Structure 1
Amino acid sequence: MKVTGYRSLVTSHDWRRPVGDANGTIASGITEVPVLILETDGGLEGVGLGQHGEIARVFPAVEGQDPRAAPALYDSMLGHVFKSGHAGQTYGAIAAIDMALWDLKAKMAGEPLWRTLGAADRFVRGYASGLCYGLDDDAFAALYGEWAERGFHSAKIKGGKDLARDIRRLKIVQGIMARNNPVPALMLDVNESWNRKQAIRHLAAIEAAGIDLTWIEEPVRRWDAAGHAAITRAARPAVATGENLTGLEQFAPLFDAGAVDVVQAGSVWGITHFTRVAIAAHVRDLPVSPVGYDCNPAAHAAAAVPNMIGLEVQDFHWPAGLDVDQQIADGGVVLGDRPGLGIEVDEAAIAGHRAEGTWNVAGGPHRRPRDAGLRLVPDTGPALP
């Protein structure tokens, strides 16, 4: 069976609440979800998720190839673009193709991807993460109460601009998750909104408030190995980072500097990337955690690696036109038996849905505010453009 072509679709996810972080929020709660369909001469089709705007540039590296060679084809795609680099949208295209190749590989074997990757158990433990910055305290508590009802006892919240608010909300979610575990794991994600000295001061204040923070996520800029190393030496919580790094080589400075305690990999960057990052972390005795995305595609790979600490789970619902063979229950993801990723695409439903939504809006979470890392006092107002 050979790869012969592709189709590119865009559906939408209605989160049914505002979503975002310290960089901005999307009030409508509707976001776009790009879907790649990889075609073969045998009739099987592979599904990949995530931005893939440069698909035409990358596709020649896999055209006519056997999908079962997914890891080798990942390297072929990197080699295909090596002159100009593989960051940004180029890596998004590589990742979407890679995900679709793995989907095909498992479908050709007639088994779910978690089984193809060697996992022994279909259950993947997770933690609740509501992309909750735009919610008031009552809506925030109600949302995490839903997670607790599904058996979750670990939670991450969004913060970074108002320390008093962060401490208050950490205490709220601590009480909610304590329904399932008297000592819940609590994580704070500030999405690169601090500088290193702010991080050290703020983490000391959180500890003084009686909160035992499990990890602080992306406290400073993603490439700041020295800054992350200073924070992990000075503060008690683990430092988690890596979701925005595109390729294993970008992790090397963090590893060399002893700058990361929980190694993260974005689910949107594909299956091969996650497994390689996980093994690189494993040989350094570090845990790995995949960052969440629609339909939890990285859960299949997370089930198969030995050092997975927890999968970020962001919602209970699926994007329009996608049917996903998994359940969110018992504090994690229960993967099904449908071959491949377990995602079925209803193209007619997607075409008829027509809901508009994008992460890339003015003031949204994909735009970094001018004053990020430069705030002398807490900022409780909207993010600056």
Structure 2
Amino acid sequence: MRIVDFRITRFQFLRDRVIGDSQVRADDVHVAALELVGEDGSTGLGFVQSLFHPLPAEAEMMHCFATEVWPGLEGDLAGAAAHRVSRPRGGNIRRLSMPFEEALQQAVWDLFAKSVGQPLWRLLGARRERVRAYASGLDFHLSDHDFGELFGIAASQGFTAFKIKVGHPDLDRDIHRLDLLKQAVGDTALVMVDANEAWSPKQTIANLDAFRRAGHPIFWVEDPVLRHDFDGLRILRETAGPTLVNSGEYLDASGKRSLMQAGATDMLNVHGHVTDVMRIGWLAADMGVPVSLGNSFLEIGVNMALALPEVDWLEYSYQNFDHLVETTYRMEDGFIWGSDTPGHGLVLADTARRDWHQPTLVARDALGAAPQPPRLTR
């Protein structure tokens, strides 16, 4: 299937709640859909997301894509583009002017899978249809009431594992949130915490001990210290007892490889870049390192999670994007299933093009109400 055209559709809307962690917060959405068009008219879909800064006008995005990306993509076979490896030499490896990289990988693989009539997860080699998911609140800035309500809904929907944001300057506040979580989900759940690099190695050891003494055993601690502190992460692996160290989120593929080679993590955290995730996931399997699939747009990462042998967990964080696509992935009893349709399973909804399209930047106070989150119901 040759790639013959492209489309970009820009969206901007309010979130239904503030999301964030010990370092950042966001309460609006800046995202665009990238569609690569095949010679038979089928499309491959990817999502361009900017968490903290507005995307430019759609016309500017089209211009940047046409000048920076399209000359190397036009007329190419989708399968060839999906598998191509570039040599990292000097200035030929650099960031694009806009964050197209992840969307490109998603769209190319989607179109490739459609061209051979296979669901992407099967094309990538999966033998299973579902993977366990954990509920993640992105909850650092929520009130206690909203925090408890969010995780109570997650528990009522069948989740049995939950991750909360920690790293507050007052450790008692982190312990208070763990107390609230236990009240909302019960005391048999698996609990993970994510500090987003807020602590030093010694702080992490002391804080995990304080959590245990307060009655909160932690299944894994995610990104507790600076991403390149491999020595500190190794020390944590040796001293954290049964708590696993989950790291690598902020590292590129080369950094993730170095992290594993340094023996500095119990689990490797990956996200939504299809090609990069598969390459580093195969290496993790070769090294016997478990992999967790962190947040990916609309859980598109389920395709890689199902295909990689070392993935036992996928993150689901109730981000309110369901209205952008025709059908989301099936979620039930704490598991997520791959789609049986050819491609990665997500199709841009006509209602999204009609009702949520924002071709130019809109002032935040003019965005109006956030879309209603369909999954945030008991």
Residue in 2 that maps onto 1:158: 165
Cross-structure match for 2:214: 209
Tell me, in whole angstroms, the C-alpha distance in 1 between the residues paired with 2:194 and 2:183.
19
Whole-Å separation in 2 of the counterparts to 1:333 and 1:107:
21
Choose the corresponding residue for 1:308, options 294, 308, 311.
311
* 1:31 to 1:91, Cα distance in 2 relative to 1, 3 A: closer
TM-fit CA distance, 1:57: 2.6
Alignment check: 8 A CA contact 2:131 2:312 kept: no
Task: Look up the match of 1:168.
Answer: 176
Q: 1:144 aligns with which of 151, 167, 175?
A: 151
| Structure 1 residue aligned with 2:370 | none
Aligned residue number for residue 83 of structure 2: 72
Matched, 1:83 2:81: no
In structure 2, the CA distance between the partners of 1:85 and 1:252, relative to structure 1 (3 Å rule), is farther
Query: Aligned-pair distance for 1:189?
Result: 0.6
Scaled by the length of structure 2, the TM-score of the pair is: 0.83
1:190 aligned residue (185, 188, 195): 195
Displacement of 1:347 in angstroms is 5.7
CA-atom RMSD in angstroms = 2.7
Distance in 1 (CA, whole Å) between partners of 2:298 and 2:45 is: 11
- Structure 1's 90 and 252: CA in aligned 2 closer, same or farther, altered over 3 A? farther
| TM-score between both structures, scaled by the size of structure 1 | 0.82
Equivalents in 2 of 1:337, 1:222: separation in Å? 37
Superposed CA deviations along residues 136-185 of structure 1, whole A, max 9, x for unmatched, are: 1121111011111121100100110132121122232234333xxx6321
> Taking every aligned residue pair, what percent have the same amino acid on both sides?
31
Q: Matches of 2:90 and 2:166 in 1, distance apart?
A: 38
* Aligned length, in residue pairs: 347
DSSP 3-state at the match of 1:295 = helix
Identify the residue that residue 322 of structure 1 maps to in structure 2: 325
1:7 lines up with 2:3 in the alignment: no
Are residue 349 (structure 1) and residue 358 (structure 2) matched? Answer: no
Q: Aligned with 2:198: secondary structure?
A: coil
Q: Distance in 1 between matches of 2:350 and 2:126?
A: 31
CA distance in structure 1 between the partners assigned to 2:292 and 2:362 by the alignment: 28
SS of match in other structure, 1:31: strand
- Asked whether the equivalents of residues 246 and 266 of structure 2 are also in contact (C-alpha less than 8 Å), the reply is yes
Could you tell which deviates more after superposition, 133-142 or 231-240?
Answer: 231-240
Query: CA offsets, 1:178-207, max 9 Å, x none?
Result: 3xxx63211111111222222222222222
Alpha-carbon separation, structure 2, partners of 1:24 and 1:59: 33
**Contact 1:265/1:289 (CA < 8 Å) preserved in 2?**
yes
What is the CA–CA distance in structure 2 between the aligned matches of 1:91 and 1:123, rounded to whole Å?
A: 33
Whole-angstrom distance in 2 between the partners of 1:127 and 1:280: 24
Q: Deviations over 1:332-355 (max 9, x none)?
A: 212332221221213663354257
CA distance in 1 between counterparts of 2:97 and 2:229 reads: 23
Residues 48 and 103 of structure 2 are in contact (CA less than 8 Å); yes or no, is this contact kept in structure 1?
yes
Q: Does 1:333 align with 2:333?
A: no
Distance 1:288 1:118, change over 3 A: same
